Homo-oligomer: A and B are copies of this chain.
Amino acid sequence: MSKMIPTKHVDAHMGELVSDLQMLIRQPSVSAKNEGIEECAILVQKLLKKSGVKSEILRLKKGVAPIVYGEIKSKQNSKKTLMFYNHYDVQPAEPFDLWDDPPFSGTKKGNKIFGRGATDDKGELITRIKAVEACLKTTGDVPCNIKFVIEGEEETGSAHIEEYLRKYKKKFSCDGVIWEFGYVDAKNRPIIGLGMKGLLFVELSVKESIRDAHSSLAVLIKNPAWRLIEVVNTLRNSDGEVLIKDWYSEVSSFSKNDLKIIKNEPFDENVFKKEFGIKSFVGNKKGMDAKKALVGGATCNIAGFVSGYVGDGAKTVLPGSALVKIDFRLIPKMDPKKQVLRLKNHLKSKGFSDVGIRVYHGEAAARTDSSHPFVSQVKDAADKSFGKSILNVSNAGTGPMYPFVEILNAPCISIGSTYMFSRIHSPNEFARVDLLKKTTKCMCEIMINFGNS
């Protein structure tokens, strides 16, 4: 047993962390293509065991990627259990020719380790395993009970995570969850995320005649694109407000603490606008309103609209059908199922019962109460490890956080090592060694704070 404290152990063993991460990267695990999934699950299991964590492979049914589960009980403090949620699968690496090094090489250049999954999510995973290992190697114990839930379908939409959570509800029971990723901003400040928005993805369609017609017949044959435009135009106003009856009924306003956090969160409007080449925001939002929208705004977004001839030049056609893809970002208390019914009622009450509707995906928002003690424990740990950190009431995006909160009844917090410009999902994805080190130490501090609470 070393006499070092865990964070010193992290400093002294970064070489092993890097080589283990390289080993993980070198095992492709592309869930979209079912490439290397089983192999990677076994590799992760081995790595957990090597680090002193009891591990097993959990299965739901054939064709579903297994979950690698890890567990270690604390001798000194077994009342509190912390879960690390991660995933071992990665996005496809295409287009290959845009990579400077082979995507599964794990090439290290200075402070950077390149490769698909280098940060998302193998980089995040390794910091957590190594933090547990550091505790075990230095103290012979962990500061609290630890559970690892490492899934293999995150990059294809976590289709079975809810089923896994229900099936293994007892096994997975815990008092807090560290989410699979966490961003670090350009000023090296980790962003501590307390929530994710929900999502409802639907397709609306109108079919009129059985085939496209010559547009001279538009005097008589109705144009489904016109119809769909009428429909869609009733869904939202130009300030971005959704006009569907009762859409916001259950939504509550931000707490005072939330508002304080939002106020403190840095957001450079001009840099953002320049990045996208835009002059103003939806509804002409500015300052605090813009920040509140990012954290807690619901949207109705046209992700795609298509009808008729969309090639170059002119073609005088009267389309037979029209289709729009819409994603609604949902905020806490909005129930996707209820919102689908409200959308259907809206269409019916406006006289659009001829409009077809297909629901692709519904996922509720999740948010951890910003005054929960877990929040300050994580914040303290982050400040200690990084010097400074930023609280974020909710990410603008969506992840499967809701079933964790709802089924496990545990607060979820996102914190990690992902540099915001580390090209996740893109060629030349990389992890920064300095951030991996700080994050591993931060995970040690989180466990300590959590165990002491």
Residues of A within 8 A of B (CB): 197, 199, 201, 208-211, 213-223, 225-227, 229-230, 232-233, 236, 238, 240, 272, 276-278, 280-282, 285, 290, 293-294, 297, 299, 301-311, 313-319, 322-323, 325, 327, 329, 360-361, 395-398
Contacts and interface: CB of A to CB of B under 8 A. Distances in A.
A347 to B, nearest CB: 15
Contacts of A213: 276
Nearest to A277: B210
Given A230-B238, A306-B306, A309-B303, A293 B219 contact: yes
Nearest to A313: B360
A238 B214 CA distance: 19
A361 B314 contact: yes
Nearest to A301: B218
A297 B221 CA distance: 12
Contacts of A229: 229, 232-233, 302, 305
Contacts of A223: 301-302
Contacts of A307: 302, 304-306
B308 A201 contact: no
Given A220-B272, A229-B232, A294-B220, A215 B327 contact: yes
A316 B277 CA distance: 20
Given A225-B305, A310-B304, A397 B293 contact: no
Taken together, the copies of this chain in the complex come to: 2
Nearest to A307: B305
Given A217-B276, A221-B278, 20 more contacts: A201-B316, A210-B276, A211-B276, A214-B397, A215-B327, A217-B396, A219-B329, A220-B290, A221-B281, A221-B282, A222-B282, A223-B301, A225-B305, A226-B238, A302-B308, A304-B307, A305-B307, A305-B308, A305-B322, A313-B360
A415 to B, nearest CB: 19
A177 B127 CA distance: 85
B314 A219 contact: no
B220 A281 contact: yes
Contact of A303 (B209, B215, B327, B361): B215
Contacts of A210: 276-277
Given A216-B396, A307-B304, A322-B305, A236 B240 contact: no
B221 A240 contact: no
A236 B232 contact: no
A216 B398 contact: yes
Nearest to A324: B225
A230 B243 CA distance: 14
Contacts of A327: 215, 218, 314, 316
A290 B221 CA distance: 10
A225 B211 CA distance: 25
B199 A316 contact: yes
A233 B215 CA distance: 19
Give the one of A214, A313, A322, A327 with max B CB within 10 A.
Answer: A327
Contact of A278 (B222, B230, B317): B222
A304 B315 contact: yes
